[in-house]
Amino acid sequence: MFESAELGPKVTKRRYAAELPELRSALLKAHLSLKGTSTPLIIIISGADGAGKGELIHRFNEWFDPRGVDTQAFWQSSDEERDRPRYWKFWRALPERGRIGIFFGSWYTEPVIRRVHHKITARRLDLELDRIAFFEQMLANDGALIIKFWLHLSRKKQLARLKDLESNPRSHWRVLPNDWEHFELYEDFMEAAERSIRRTDAGHAPWHILEASDKRHRDLAAGRILLEALEKKLREPRITGTELAVHAHASGPARRGSPDQATILSGVDLTQKLDSREYKLQLSKCQSLLSRLAWAAWEKKVPIVAVFEGWDAAGKGSGIRRVTEALDPRLYRIVPVAAPTDEERRHHYLWRFWKHIPRKGITTLFDRSWYGRVLVERVEGFAREDEWRRAYLEINDFEDQLAQSGMVLSKFWIHISKDEQLRRFKLREKIAFKQHKITDEDWRNRKNWNGYQVAVNDMVARTSTKYSPWTIVAGNDKKFARIQILKALCDHIKAAL
Amino acid sequence: MFESAELGPKVTKRRYAAELPELRSALLKAHLSLKGTSTPLIIIISGADGAGKGELIHRFNEWFDPRGVDTQAFWQSSDEERDRPRYWKFWRALPERGRIGIFFGSWYTEPVIRRVHHKITARRLDLELDRIAFFEQMLANDGALIIKFWLHLSRKKQLARLKDLESNPRSHWRVLPNDWEHFELYEDFMEAAERSIRRTDAGHAPWHILEASDKRHRDLAAGRILLEALEKKLREPRITGTELAVHAHASGPARRGSPDQATILSGVDLTQKLDSREYKLQLSKCQSLLSRLAWAAWEKKVPIVAVFEGWDAAGKGSGIRRVTEALDPRLYRIVPVAAPTDEERRHHYLWRFWKHIPRKGITTLFDRSWYGRVLVERVEGFAREDEWRRAYLEINDFEDQLAQSGMVLSKFWIHISKDEQLRRFKLREKIAFKQHKITDEDWRNRKNWNGYQVAVNDMVARTSTKYSPWTIVAGNDKKFARIQILKALCDHIKAAL
C-alpha cells in the first residue's frame, strides 16, 4: 500500500516558490468561506516518526487564518481524561462548525500503538477501527469534512531522518525516546497502520498517503488535497443551522404510526400505588441503601449516569430529588437539559452531553437528556427524519462506550396517563409556587400526545440494550414511582459493584 | 464572635411545618425572578464538621428550582486543577448570571486548613484573606450576590454530633477520618475561622453565623437570610447585559486626554530597522534558542503566557507566527480573542481568559486579550467608565496570581505610526489574500486613533508591573519587530528557568 504513496517528480525550490503563492491564496480564501458554514474541518496528521508531521502542521497554521485553527496534540492524558470513557478527550477537542481542527495524534494513535506492542489482538484492533469508522461517519453526517494524512517514510529514510533530527541542536528535542523504540518495530508499525488505513478509508473520511521524503512535495501535495476537498465541500448546497430547522419544518414533523395498538407504554399498569405508611418505610430503606451504594461506588471508582425522561408533569423533578436526598453533595451533579447554547449548537448534538460525563466514582443525573433528539426534536420537527433516524444508532454507540468504561447507566421513562397529566396541569395552575412549572409549551406538547407516544415506544424499543435497559416507571401514583426509581437505581449499582 | 450566633428559641416541629411553606414559596418565586437578570447568586456554606453543611445544601436544592442550581464541592483536585493557578478551579465553577452556585468548600477552605496545621503564618493567612476579599468585591461589582454561611457548633455539640453521625449506618460515611483530626484542633480551627470571617465580612459579601445545633432553626434562619438578600437585590434597578451596553453608549465613550503630550508611545523610535540578511541570521538564532527554552520550560513545568496587542495591521499575526514556528505543536496553543460567546457574556469578563490558562510546561499565546476591557471596550464605550477603571486593578490581581503560580508572562504592544497603518491598509486592499484582513471596523478604529492612544498609554502605565512588564515593540519595520518579540520572549523565559 505504502509503495503507492503519491510521489511525483522531486519538487525544486524554484517550482515550490512559483506554485506556493497561488495555492496559499486559494486555501485562505476557502478557509474564509468555511467560516459561517455548518461544516467543521477535521484534519488528521499521522505517519512515521520523523516524517515531518509537526512541520506540516506549522505549514497549515501558516497558510490558513490561524485565528480559525485549533491544533490538538494528544500526548499525555490528564487524570480528568483518564477517569472518563476514552473518546471524552476527543469530543472535547472537536472543532466548532466553521473552524479547523488539526489533530496531531488522534483516535488512531492508541489502537495502533497497542497493536504494535501486541497488547491487543488483530481482532480487537479491527473492533476499535470499526468504532472509529462509525465515529467519523457520524461526524460526517453532521456536516464535518474529514481529511486524513499518512506521511510515509521508508525504513531507510526514517533512519536517516531520525539521525538527522537528532544531530541538529534545534530539532534534537523532536526525537523522543520512544521514536527509536518505534523504529525497531518499523515492520509491525507499518502492518498495523496499513490495516487501520484500509479499514477506515471511506468516501466521507478518506486517507491520503504522502511520500514524505521530499518536504516540498509533501507540503504542496497536502495543500492541494486540502484545497480540492474544501472547494468541493463548499460547492455543496449550503445547509446552515437555521436553514436546517426551516427545512425540517417544511417537510413536516413525523407523527405517523397508530398509537392505539398495543405498545410498550400501553402495557404499563398505572393503577399501582403505595399508601403513605408503606411509602415512608420503603423510602427510608431505599435511600439508606442508595447512600451506602453511592459511597461504595466512589470507593470502587464506578461512575454512574442516571437519565430521567417522562411526560410533562410526570414527576421527573420530584423523582430526582428523592435520589439526591440520599447522596452526599460531593458525589453527584444534576445536569438540567434545556435549549442548547450557541456554542453547543456549533457542535454535534451529542457534544454537550459528552461534556458532562462524570469522572470515576461520581454520579450525574440528567434531567432530560440526549433522548431529546428522538423525542421533542423528532415530534416537533426540529430534526430532519434522517437525523433522528440515525440517532438511535448514535445513541446506542454512545451508551455502549459509557458501559464499556465501567459506567452504571440507568434510564427512566416516567409514564402517566393523559388524564392524570390534565389533573396535574390544573393543580399546578392553582398552586402559587407551582405555577412556574406549567407553560404554554406544556399545553402544546399535550396536543401532540399521540406523536410523542409513538416516539417513546420507538425510543424504548430501539435503545433498550442489555448494558443499558429502560425502566418504565408507573407514575400515576407519585409515591409508587419514586420507590420504583430508587429500587431500580440501587439494583443497577449493586449489580455493577 | 461565635457566642453571638443567631440562636432564637428552639424551633418546634409544629412551628417549622407552619412557617416553611410560605418561606419556600417566596424563595422559589425569588429564584424564578433571578433568572434573566445579570446577577449570579453565590452561596458559600462553611462551618464546623458535623454541623450539617450537606443537609443545608439538600434543603436549598429542595427549595429552589434545582434546574437553576449548581452545587460545587471542592474536595479532591484533579491534576488539571493542580497544574494551574489556585483560583482556576473556582473560576471554572462560578455560576452564570441568573443561576445559583452553592459552594461546599470554597476559596476559604485551603487557607484556613493550612493555618490550622501551622503550614502558613497568621500574616500569610491575612494576605490570602485579602485576596479573597478582592475576589469577592470584584464579583460583586460585576453584579454577583454573595451570601456566606458559617454553621457553628460548640465543641461539646460537635463531639456529640460526630458520634451520633458515626453510629448511624445511613450517615456514618459522612464522618471522614480528618473530621476527627479537625476535632482535636477545635480551638485552632475556631481561631482561624474567626480571623477569616472578621477580615472578609463585607457589605457586598456578608457572613451569617448560624447556631447549628437545632436543625430546624438552622434551616429556617438560613432560608430567611437568603430570601431577604435576594428580594433586596431584585428590588435594585435591574441592569441586564443589554441595558448595560446601551447605558454605556448613552453616557458616551471616554476619549479625553491630550494625545499630543509626550507619552510612552510617542517615545518609541519607529525608525529602527533590520536588513534582510541580518534578519535571517537573527531569526534563525532566536527561533533556535526559543525552541530549546520552550522544551526546557516543559521539563521544568514552567507555564508561559504571551499576550499580543497592537494597532490594527501592526503585525500581531505575523509576530505570533514567528514564535509558533519555533515551538513544538504539542507545547503551545493560540487563543484568538474576538467577541464573546453568549456563555461568556453570562460571566465576569475575566472568566473566558481564566478558561484558557495553560497547564504547567505549556505556552498559550493570546491574539488580543483581557486588555480589550481597557482598550476597545473603553474607547468604543462597551464598558462603563467605572467598569474599565476598576479593570486595571482586576487585571493586575489576575496577572499577580499567574506570576505567583510560577508562570512567565510576556506582554507585547506592537506600535506603528498612523502613516504606516494607512500604508498597510491600502496594501491589504490590493493583495487578494490579504483583503479579508481589512474591514470597515479597521477604518472606524483608525478614526479613533487619539482615543486609543490615550487608552494604550494608560494601560501600559497602569499594568506594567515588575512581574509582568509590557514590551513596546517598534513595529514600523516588520523584521525589526519580530526579532524584538522573539528576543524579549526568550529573555523572559530564560530569567524564569
Which of A46, A79, A82, A227 has the highest number of chain B CBs within 10 A, making it the mutation to test binding with B? A79
What's the gap in Å between the CA of B333 and the closest CA on chain A?
7
What's the gap in Å between the CA of A129 and the closest CA on chain B?
25
Q: Is the pLDDT of residue A443 over 80?
A: yes
In a domain, B128, yes or no: yes
Are A218 and A331 in a shared domain? Answer: no
Are B197 and B316 in a shared domain? Answer: no
Query: Which tens digits make up the pLDDT trace of B442-496?
Result: 888 899 999 999 999 999 999 998 889 999 999 999 999 999 999 999 999 999 9
Query: Which tens digits make up the pLDDT trace of A453-475?
Result: 999 999 999 999 888 999 999 99
d(CA B417, CA A282): 78
Q: pTM score, two decimals?
A: 0.88
Which of B20, B62, B67 has the highest number of chain A CBs within 10 A, making it the mutation to test binding with A? B67
Here the cell at position B315 is 503585525
| Cβ–Cβ pairs < 8 A, chains A and B | 130
CB contact at 8 A, A463 and A399 = yes
pLDDT for the residue numbered A51: 86
Is B54 in Cβ contact with A288 (below 8 Å)? no
Name the residue facing B336 among A67, A83, A287 (closest C-beta): A67
**What does the pLDDT average to over A92-106?**
95
Chain A residues closer than 8 Å to B433 by CB: 24-25, 28-29
More confident residue, B240 or A114: A114
Chain A residues closer than 8 Å to B24 by CB: 433
pLDDT for the residue numbered B483: 97
Average pLDDT in chain B: 89
Query: Which tens digits make up the pLDDT trace of A8-31?
Result: 568 899 999 999 999 999 999 999
Is B325 in Cβ contact with A169 (below 8 Å)? no
Are A211 and A300 in a shared domain? Answer: no
Are A230 and A305 in a shared domain? Answer: no
Q: Determine the residue type at A424.
A: R
DSSP labels for B123-149? HHHHHHHHHHHHHHHHHHHTT-EEEEE
Q: Determine the residue type at A442.
A: D
Are B212 and B270 in a shared domain? Answer: no
For residue A405, how far is the Cα from the chain centroid?
Answer: 14
> Given B204, B238, B272, which residue is the final one in a domain?
B238
pLDDT for the residue numbered A245: 43
Are B231 and B275 in a shared domain? Answer: no
Are B345 and B469 in a shared domain? Answer: yes
Which of A59, A170, A490 has the highest number of chain B CBs within 10 A, making it the mutation to test binding with B? A170
Name the residue facing A73 among B320, B330, B334 (closest C-beta): B330
Is A328 in Cβ contact with B174 (below 8 Å)? yes
- Residue of chain A whose Cα is closest to the Cα of B333: A71
More confident residue, A165 or B465: B465
Query: Which tens digits make up the pLDDT trace of B2-24?
Result: 766 655 568 899 999 999 999 99
Chain A residues closer than 8 Å to B317 by CB: 66-67
Chain A residues closer than 8 Å to B173 by CB: 291-292, 295, 328
Chain B residues closer than 8 Å to A79 by CB: 78-80
> Given A238, A269, A293, which residue is the final one in a domain?
A238
Name the residue facing B367 among A67, A333, A338 (closest C-beta): A67
DSSP labels for A133-147? HHHHHHHHHTT-EEE
Are A167 and A110 in a shared domain? Answer: yes
Strands ordered across the beta sheet of B100-104: B69-73, B100-104, B41-47, B145-152, B207-211
Query: Which tens digits make up the pLDDT trace of B185-218?
Result: 899 999 999 999 999 999 899 999 998 889 999 9
CB contact at 8 A, B340 and B446 = no
Whether the CA torsion B172, B173, B176, B182 is positive or negative: it is negative
Chain B residues closer than 8 Å to A320 by CB: 66
Name the residue facing B433 among A28, A288, A324 (closest C-beta): A28
CB contact at 8 A, A2 and A194 = yes
What's the gap in Å between the CA of B165 and the closest CA on chain A?
13
ipTM of the assembly? 0.84
In a domain, A175, yes or no: yes
In a domain, B146, yes or no: yes
Are A294 and A221 in a shared domain? Answer: no
Here the cell at position B127 is 494576605
Which SS3 state, helix, strand or coil, does residue A202 take? strand
Q: Is the pLDDT of residue B310 over 90?
A: yes
Closest CA to A416 of A376, A449, A465: A449
Q: Is the pLDDT of residue B241 over 80?
A: no
Q: What is the dihedral of CA B396, B402, B408, B412, to 10 degrees?
A: -40
**What does the pLDDT average to over B431-447?**
83
Closest CA to B330 of B353, B298, B302, B306: B298
What CATH number should be reported for the domain holding residue A444? Answer: 3.40.50.300
Chain B residues closer than 8 Å to A333 by CB: 70-71
In a domain, B248, yes or no: no
Percent of chain A whose pLDDT exceeds 70? 92
CB contact at 8 A, B20 and B220 = yes
Chain A residues closer than 8 Å to B57 by CB: 329
Are A225 and A305 in a shared domain? Answer: no
Is B329 in Cβ contact with A104 (below 8 Å)? yes
In a domain, B447, yes or no: yes
Q: Is the pLDDT of residue A173 over 90?
A: no
Chain A residues closer than 8 Å to B68 by CB: 336
Is B325 in Cβ contact with A24 (below 8 Å)? no
Q: Is the pLDDT of residue A242 over 70?
A: no
> Given B202, B221, B238, which residue is the final one in a domain?
B238
CB contact at 8 A, B437 and B312 = no
Beta bridge partner(s), residue B41: B100, B145
d(CA A289, CA A277): 19
In a domain, B152, yes or no: yes
Number of domains in chain A: 2
Name the residue facing A433 among B28, B169, B334 (closest C-beta): B28
pLDDT for the residue numbered B308: 98
**What does the pLDDT average to over A242-254?**
42
CB contact at 8 A, A451 and A250 = no
Q: Is the pLDDT of residue B43 over 50?
A: yes
**DSSP label of B416:** -
Which of B56, B330, B347 has the highest number of chain A CBs within 10 A, making it the mutation to test binding with A? B330
Query: Which tens digits make up the pLDDT trace of A25-65?
Result: 999 999 999 998 999 999 999 998 888 899 999 999 999 99
Name the residue facing A321 among B62, B433, B436 (closest C-beta): B62
Q: Is the pLDDT of residue B407 over 70?
A: yes
pLDDT for the residue numbered A171: 66
* pLDDT band, very low/low/confident/very high, at A4 (cuts 50, 70, 90): low
Which of B167, B433, B435, B482 has the highest number of chain A CBs within 10 A, making it the mutation to test binding with A? B433
Are A15 and A125 in a shared domain? Answer: yes
Chain B residues closer than 8 Å to A170 by CB: 287-288, 291-292
Residue B437's domain spans which residues?
263-496
CB contact at 8 A, A81 and A105 = no
* pLDDT band, very low/low/confident/very high, at A119 (cuts 50, 70, 90): very high
In a domain, B49, yes or no: yes
Are B284 and B180 in a shared domain? Answer: no
In a domain, B250, yes or no: no
pLDDT for the residue numbered A40: 97
Contacts of A467 (CB under 8 A, 6+ apart): A399, A400, A403, A409
The CA–CA distances, whole Å, from B304 to A66, B52, B334, B399 equal: 19, 43, 12, 12
Q: How many residues make up chain B in this entry?
A: 497
Q: Is the pLDDT of residue B245 over 60?
A: no
